[in-house]
Chain A
Amino acid sequence: MTTDGPVGTSKDADETAAETAPEAATATAPQEPKNDSAEESFLSHFVHNLWAANTVTVTLLSVLLAMVIGAVLIVISDPAVLSTFSYFTARPGDAMNASWTLVSTAYADLFKGAIVDPAAITAWADGSGTWKQVFAPISETLTYAAPLVFTGLSVAVAFRGGLFNIGGQGQAIIGTIIAAMAGFLLPLPPVIHLFAALLAGALGGALWGFVPGILKARTGAHEVIVTIMLNYTANLFLGWLILQKGIQQPGRSDAISKTVDESAQLPSFGGELRANVGIILAVLATAGVAWLLNRSAFGFELRAVGHNPAAAKTAGMSVAKTYTMLMVTAGALAGLGGATQVLGTAHALTPQVAGNIGFDGLLVALLGRNRPWGTLLAAILFGALRAGGNRMQSFTGISLELVTVVQALIVIFIAAPALVKAIFRLRAARTARLGASMAKGW
């Protein structure tokens, strides 16, 4: 890893890979400075390196570390337990016991709320409960996960094509708006109505992705700036729209729209199982994106453009067209995420209908290493934390914000792989150096 820098500061494996070959030198040679914006190449370099440094091990360890720090925060945030630490030296057992009890109860609730509650199994076994109660926690997890899968995929696809889609939130909001409007305005028969509403959501998101895509392709406007601005636009538009006549729920003065017709709602599994068909669509979308990236001609183009637009252009690909199509695809995915949210669980537009799914999608994609199936798993993890957090809040009294903190910590650790490796004393630096040296073919 340090084979290229004169003072060994460069950690850039790409640079090292090209070290012995003179073309590395020619790459620096062109006299006319290329007009690529510096921040973009910096950003993509940064994220590319992030990927190279992050293994699955690091990801898992990051989750573990975040849970450990979460435990500390649980203890600190509980005055009763904290007070036992005031006489820690006299009776350390009190503090240890109280902390252990609190943390283990909290995390047990997290588990029970997200995966399965053993009590429900017992109840089902002796006939006092139903099987649906057993699966209720998982159902909750999947309910929260479904929209995140879509927004995560949106970010992941865009990134594979070299674009940072920060606009998942805006695209998802437009997706909720158009899907909901299709849901309560179009008089269509069941099934067809649902598909029409989903399609409408995807189209809405696609439109919101098309704008930054075409601006990037035609004028070079940076997609990060444009998508951030469009997030605000979408949010404010939603706030205004809900209060308009024909949209707002008749007889209500607060900001809530009409309810989506039953024929356009994503059917849920019934009873305690709040999860809906959205999660199945999410899995299908993941498979679709995996196919798109690895098997389709468009996927080949977008990966080539993502890695090296100059070579893609030289090989006859249209970089502008690829950027546009890529943002349309990413927008459609995020829009579907929004549609899943409103047609599956919310059923009506409110200013907060899309919650934070667009921004959480960024984290999910990061955690999933921009791989479709990785993103699916990451979304389920985030969904589980959210579902478990709800139970933790109502049973143990720990604020739901703790879950947000844990999510943030996971992402921070993912973003600092060197820190994780140092904590667990992984000999990662050594192996990375070896890898780089191997890569450049001695």
Chain B
Amino acid sequence: MRPAPRLQEIPLRLELRGITKRFGDLVANDHIDLTVEPGEVHALLGENGAGKSTLMNQLYGLLQPDEGEILVDGEARTFRSPRDAIAAGIGMVHQHFMLVPVFTVAENIALGAEKTRAGFLDRRRARREVLEVSERYGLPVDPDALVEHLPVGAQQRVEIVKALTRDVDVLILDEPTAVLTPQETEELLAVMRGLSDAGKSIVFITHKLKEVKAIADRITVIRRGRTVGTASPDAAEDELASIMVGRAVNLEVNKAPAEPGREVLHVSGLIVDDDRGVRAVDNVDLTVRAGEVLGIAGVQGNGQTELVEAVMGLRRPRAGSIKVDNEELTGMSTKQILRSGVGYVPEDRSLDGVVKEFTVAENLVLDQYDRAPYGNAFQLNPAAVAESARERVEQFDIRTMSAETAVGTLSGGNQQKVVVARELSRPLRLFIAAQPTRGVDVGSIEFIHSRIVHERDVGTAVIVVSSELDEVVGLADRVAVMYRGRILAIVSPDTPREELGLLMAGITGSRDTPATDADGAEEKGTK
């Protein structure tokens, strides 16, 4: 495919001109122009559904543009398949990884470009290639590790190495940080810097402003299928956000000081094991009062998930007590707990939060379908379901064709609004939101945050679990830092970031907070 062997050292210049792609009546890309200079990190910024992925899929040969052309080094090219794109020096790392979990790293990398010797896969050569590339670009991967055993961040490195072994000069990263912990994100940004220093161009698709500012050389903002502007990384975050969303966006969470009331949730001596029987929550004591937000910060996998699941009755604790208004929750079923006035936004929306094949209306009553007015233990009342769905779609600004649309077709942010709407549509005593804005676009984040604060203000006890420190600090009145199943400290959200970061890494330092001191709740942590 390649016209002549290019020298690796001469990076290529990529230009998209007037790319237009329609799906029926929808114009997904409307005359988009984009130039990627050699060696630059070009951020493609836009909300979910803005058309970023569609654009990149055309560049990668997965879709063919209806209009416009793709120029590589000034020469118009047509990519009929990813094979053509790779041959032209363009590689892509997808949002969800295209790896075979039971294969080793080397096997995965060889997959699709198997080098054979006498009809057998040349494993040694595959290993050598992996090691070569990983050393050259400072991407540590173990070629013999099974992919299923690797953490997400390492799997992503495998994807990047895979693209690099195909000898590409332009690397498209589609929302690469969506699945990463803050540390892994830092590592990835360092890798991107290294790649761009080595002369590779990177197209970085994202909607996270901080990362864009940290890494991008140039920024192109796409909104509703059109290029709405280019910006330099010096631009302020709210400025970028407002270009992206098309209106002024408030990135700060606006909230009045909390007015904590009675003690609603009281957790004491809670011990929970994870699926493998490993202790995930280790003797946790916690209280949350009515009208306050307790933020639980921590790197993912430190027991937050298990803690929340235990409260919701989804996981049986080994020991300890969980009380809401002095009513013991342990031993109750999830349904009873939900009915007792606990609202829950699960951390993994697509797995636990919604039934994608169900309509918006059905998802909105997923935990209320057998209660008046939506129905009874025997049958549903479709009219009431539809009626309330219409109201809530409006009230929670859920962007959908209709309440009868399958939830799976909505953008991540709107799916999350469905979950939030469902849980916040009944009177609550306790509201638990785990990763409430993961994979949610800026406009929806603002909305979801405001609803959470509103719920606090009407006197509900709120727990927000998030691996995004900004989110925890923005929403919380008190911040509990979780590390290896323990609450290391409960601090004020005004605590300096560095200190929080250290706590998240398990370093308590000079701060003299006893690790599991429930009375830490009593300290004046609120603003």
Q: Contact residues of A with B, CB < 8 Å?
A: 2-8, 14-15, 17-33, 35, 295-297, 300-301, 303-304, 307-308, 310-318, 434, 437-442
A35 touches B82 (CB 8 A): no
Tell me the chain B residues, 353-367 only, with Cβ under 8 Å from chain A: 353-358, 362, 366-367
B438 touches A318 (CB 8 A): no
Additional A-B contact list (9), CB under 8 Å, known A307-B356, A308-B357 = A3-B53, A5-B98, A6-B98, A20-B411, A25-B439, A26-B179, A28-B96, A297-B377, A313-B334
Task: Count residues on chain B whose CB falls below 8 Å from chain A CBs.
Answer: 79
A315 touches B367 (CB 8 A): yes
Residues of chain A within 8 A (CB-CB) of B410 are 441
Residue in A25, A31, A295 whose beta carbon sits within 8 Å of that of B95 in the complex = A25
Closest-by-CB residue of B relative to A21 is B412
Tell me the chain B residues, 338-360 only, with Cβ under 8 Å from chain A: 338-339, 344, 346, 348-358
B53 touches A18 (CB 8 A): no
A21 touches B411 (CB 8 A): yes
Q: Which of A307, A312, A442 has the most CB of B within 10 A?
A: A442
Residues of chain B within 8 A (CB-CB) of A442 are 23, 26, 28, 49, 51, 54, 225
CA A18 to CA B178, docked complex, whole Å? 14
Residues of chain B within 8 A (CB-CB) of A20 are 48-49, 52-54, 95, 411
CA A26 to CA B437, docked complex, whole Å? 12
A440 touches B378 (CB 8 A): no
Residue in B82, B339, B366 whose beta carbon sits within 8 Å of that of A8 in the complex = B82
A30 touches B348 (CB 8 A): yes
A17 touches B355 (CB 8 A): no
Closest-by-CB residue of B relative to A317 is B335
Q: Is B62 an interface residue (CB 8 A)?
A: yes
B379 touches A31 (CB 8 A): no
Q: Within the complex, what minimum Cβ distance (angstroms) separates A177 from chain B? A: 32
Residues of chain A within 8 A (CB-CB) of B344 are 314
B380 touches A296 (CB 8 A): yes
A7 touches B82 (CB 8 A): yes
CA A15 to CA B95, docked complex, whole Å? 12
Stretch at the interface among B67-75, B368-376, B454-462: B368-376
B355 touches A308 (CB 8 A): yes
CA A18 to CA B275, docked complex, whole Å? 27
B380 touches A441 (CB 8 A): no
A307 touches B175 (CB 8 A): no
CA A33 to CA B23, docked complex, whole Å? 36
Q: Contact residues of B with A, CB < 8 Å?
A: 23-24, 26, 28, 48-49, 51-54, 57, 60, 62-63, 81-83, 92, 94-98, 101, 112, 148, 151-152, 175, 178-179, 225, 274-276, 301, 312, 314, 333-339, 344, 346, 348-358, 362, 366-367, 369-370, 375-380, 382, 406, 408-412, 415, 438-439
Q: Within the complex, what minimum Cβ distance (angstroms) separates B198 from chain A? A: 23
Q: Within the complex, what minimum Cβ distance (angstroms) separates A53 from chain B? A: 16
Pick 12 A–B contacts, CB within 8 A, sort by A: A3-B54, A7-B81, A17-B408, A27-B351, A28-B96, A28-B179, A297-B375, A308-B354, A315-B366, A316-B336, A316-B339, A442-B49
Q: Which of B51, B98, B333, B350 has the most CB of A within 10 A?
A: B350
CA A15 to CA B312, docked complex, whole Å? 29
B409 touches A440 (CB 8 A): yes
Q: Which of B53, B112, B312, B377 has the most CB of A within 10 A?
A: B53
B178 touches A26 (CB 8 A): yes
Main secondary structure of the interface of B (DSSP, over half): loop
Residue in B28, B53, B98, B355 whose beta carbon sits within 8 Å of that of A304 in the complex = B355
Closest-by-CB residue of B relative to A24 is B96
Residue in B49, B152, B275 whose beta carbon sits within 8 Å of that of A35 in the complex = B275
CA A307 to CA B338, docked complex, whole Å? 21
Residues of chain B within 8 A (CB-CB) of A33 are 101, 148
Q: Within the complex, what minimum Cβ distance (angstroms) separates B333 from chain A? A: 7
Residues of chain B within 8 A (CB-CB) of A19 are 53, 95
CA A7 to CA B357, docked complex, whole Å? 27
B362 touches A300 (CB 8 A): yes
B83 touches A7 (CB 8 A): yes
CA A295 to CA B62, docked complex, whole Å? 41
A22 touches B338 (CB 8 A): no
Residue in B26, B60, B378 whose beta carbon sits within 8 Å of that of A297 in the complex = B378
Residues of chain A within 8 A (CB-CB) of B408 are 14, 17-18, 439
Residues of chain B within 8 A (CB-CB) of A318 are 333, 335
Residue in B23, B26, B60, B356 whose beta carbon sits within 8 Å of that of A308 in the complex = B356
Closest-by-CB residue of B relative to A10 is B98
Q: A17-B408, A297-B378, A441-B411 are in contact. Are A313 and B62 (CB under 8 A)?
A: no
A300 touches B369 (CB 8 A): yes
Closest-by-CB residue of B relative to A297 is B370
A438 touches B94 (CB 8 A): no
B369 touches A311 (CB 8 A): no
Residues of chain B within 8 A (CB-CB) of A24 are 95-96, 350
Q: Within the complex, what minimum Cβ distance (angstroms) separates A431 from chain B? A: 10
Q: Within the complex, what minimum Cβ distance (angstroms) separates A392 from chain B? A: 42
A22 touches B97 (CB 8 A): no
Q: Within the complex, what minimum Cβ distance (angstroms) separates B55 from chain A? A: 10
A23 touches B438 (CB 8 A): yes
